Amino acid sequence: MCWSATADLAAGSVVGALGVACAAGAVRARRVRDLPLAALPLLLGVHQLVEAAVWEGDGGSGTATTVWAVIALPLLAAWVPLAVLSAAPPGARLRLAVPVAAGSATAAVLAACLAAEAPVAEIRGHTVGYAVDVPNPPLLIAAYLVATVGALLLAADRTIRLLGVLTAVGAGICAVLWRMEFVSTWCAFAAVVSVVLLAWVRRPAAGRPAIA
């Protein structure tokens, strides 16, 4: 979440462009299994562009708010662990069983919650707050973090593990600043994620699966 519609548009465009470069790099390197993870910045860029529409609509419960919530909650909860699993070498996949299971279960619960009741966005100073009715929020948040941050930290590739560390630190900082209703660090964090993944895609790695 950025601090204005303009900031979201600018950051979303930059992060999205980096995402296109990441995805193109994976395709050029013929590493099809890396593509879901390489495309993550593209998804984050789209997410920020959607939030620009939330700002322009002054929050509420419209289509932009729903799309934002779908990407942020069930989609990312399932996408991240499955993307890490896809990029992992065969011998390093078993360790990802818990994050993948947590992501699938969390995504199912969050999708059901969003289907039952539309999320509501509220402009709060320099941030946007989103209200989503979910059961047992502490447990659901813990499962979400196990799925997303946990999958990155358990990756076989050291660059992806570094991404997990950055994600954990960034999530904590963003949460603190959001509670202060101050400028969120999400835009800068998404950019960091994109740069790290771009470096990962461009780095030759023996044993990464290629398109047959």
Phi and psi angles of residue 124, each rounded to the nearest 5 degrees, phi first: -125, 90
pLDDT in 10s for each residue of the chain, 212 residues:
567 888 889 989 999 999 999 999 888 877 789 999 999 999 999 999 999 999 999 989 999 999 999 999 999 999 999 999 999 998 899 999 999 999 999 999 999 999 999 999 998 877 788 889 999 999 999 999 999 999 999 999 999 999 999 988 888 877 776 665 444 566 667 788 899 999 999 887 554 444 32
- Cα(81)–Cα(152) distance, integer angstroms: 7
Burial 55-70 (b: 16+ CB within 10 A, else e): bebebeeeebbbbbbb
Instruction: Provide φ and ψ at 135, rounded to 5°.
Output: -80, 140
**Alpha carbons 202 and 191: distance in angstroms, whole number:** 17
Between CA 102 and CA 46 the distance in angstroms is 24
| C-alpha to C-alpha distance for 137 and 133, rounded to whole angstroms | 9
- What is the C-alpha R_g of the chain? 17
Name the fold adopted by 5-202.
Answer: Rhopdopsin 7-helix transmembrane proteins (1.20.1070)
CB 108 within 8 A of CB 45: no
Tell me the two tokens of residue 60.
């509420």
Model pTM score: 0.89
